Structure 1
Amino acid sequence: MAGIIEISPAHRNFSRYDIRDIITFSVILGKDASCINEDLVTVLGENAPSIPTIRKWVKDVSEGRDGMEDEPCPGRPVTACGDANISKVLVPWSDDRRKTCEEISKDTSMSRTSAFRVLTNKLNNNKKFSKCVPYLLTDELEESRVNFSRNFLGRFQTEQNDFLGRAFTVDETWVYYWDPETKRQSAERRDFDEPRP
């Protein structure tokens, strides 16, 4: 058919600014929104903007709008990750890294999600769970324990019950004041490159 131009798929990738320019050009030619919509659907298919969007741009261009940039949206700016909130979150977090986002939000009077954003996005850390590591002895400590055990065994064989009445044992491991009952209680926030506690 004469007059029909075949559009290749490579020509169907228009940015939103290109589409707004096409709408502006079509308004200058005197086309209405439904006619512009038909043209865009023919060329772009399902990627074409909706008819309400086209009507909005036709109205804006008809009223004299020049720029194709989006206007700033009204509303509250995102300030959750501002410097003031970062310093507010740093204080309770540096005191106890096991604090949850709920506890930090109570301490700082900010929302839990804001505290979470500051901790993960700005302070660049996440929750890491403790890992139980067995107490490892050096070769010298193992040898000294074997020697002590042989010595005690020899004394027990010679002294029998007298030796048991005078013997006491001591464990040389450190006991911390806080022992988590669950894995979740042992979690604390650390930098992404820091090892587990």
Structure 2
Amino acid sequence: MAGIIESSPAHQNFSRYDIRVTIKFSVILGKDATCIHKDLVTVLGENIHSIQTVRKCVKAVSEGRDDMENEPRPSRPVTACGDANISKVLVSLSDDRRKNL
């Protein structure tokens, strides 16, 4: 059976969303985080979420989280790296190359 899993190309196409849904499904079946992590490693290999990440997902599902998509997070606005700012930096550097930015 293990040979079938290892040779299957389907395991290479798992997205983060797929993994989260798999974790949710496993929680519904009553599996704990350690068992879920072992299953994920068996199917997807060692380059999978850490056991800590699986525990966080299990906790979120157990507390009633239904949405498996990423939650929006505050971040730097896209304009921080815009053309206007790049031009300002280039002008500033052309004035004095030893300037600390």
**Shorter-chain TM-score category?**
0.7 to 0.9
Q: Which runs of 5+ in 1 are unaligned?
A: 94-98, 105-110, 113-197
**One-letter code aligned to 2:93:** C
* Structure 1 residue 49: Cα displacement: 1.3
Which amino acid in the other structure matches residue 86 of structure 1?
Answer: A
Question: Which protein has the bigger helix share?
Answer: 2
**Greater Cα radius of gyration, structure 1 or 2:** 1
Which residue number in structure 1 is paired with residue 45 of structure 2? 45
- 1:101 to 2:63 alignment: no
Runs of 4+ in 1 over 4 A off after TM superposition: none
Q: Name the CA shift for 1:103/1:40 in 2 (closer, same or farther; >3 Å).
A: same
The residue identity in structure 2 corresponding to 1:29 is L
1:66 Cα offset (Å): 1.5
| Partner amino acid, structure 2, of 1:27 | V
Assess, with a 3 A threshold, how the Cα gap between structure 1 residues 62 and 89 changes in structure 2: closer, same or farther: same
1:87 to 1:45, Cα distance in 2 relative to 1, 3 A: closer
The RMSD of aligned alpha carbons is: 3.0
Q: Which residue in 2 is equivalent to 1:21?
A: 21
Question: Which protein has the bigger strand share?
Answer: 1
Structure 2: gaps (5+ residues): none
Q: Report % sequence identity.
A: 59
- Report the count of equivalent residues: 95
Q: If the length of structure 2 is used for normalisation, what is the TM-score?
A: 0.73
TM (normalized to structure 1)?
A: 0.41
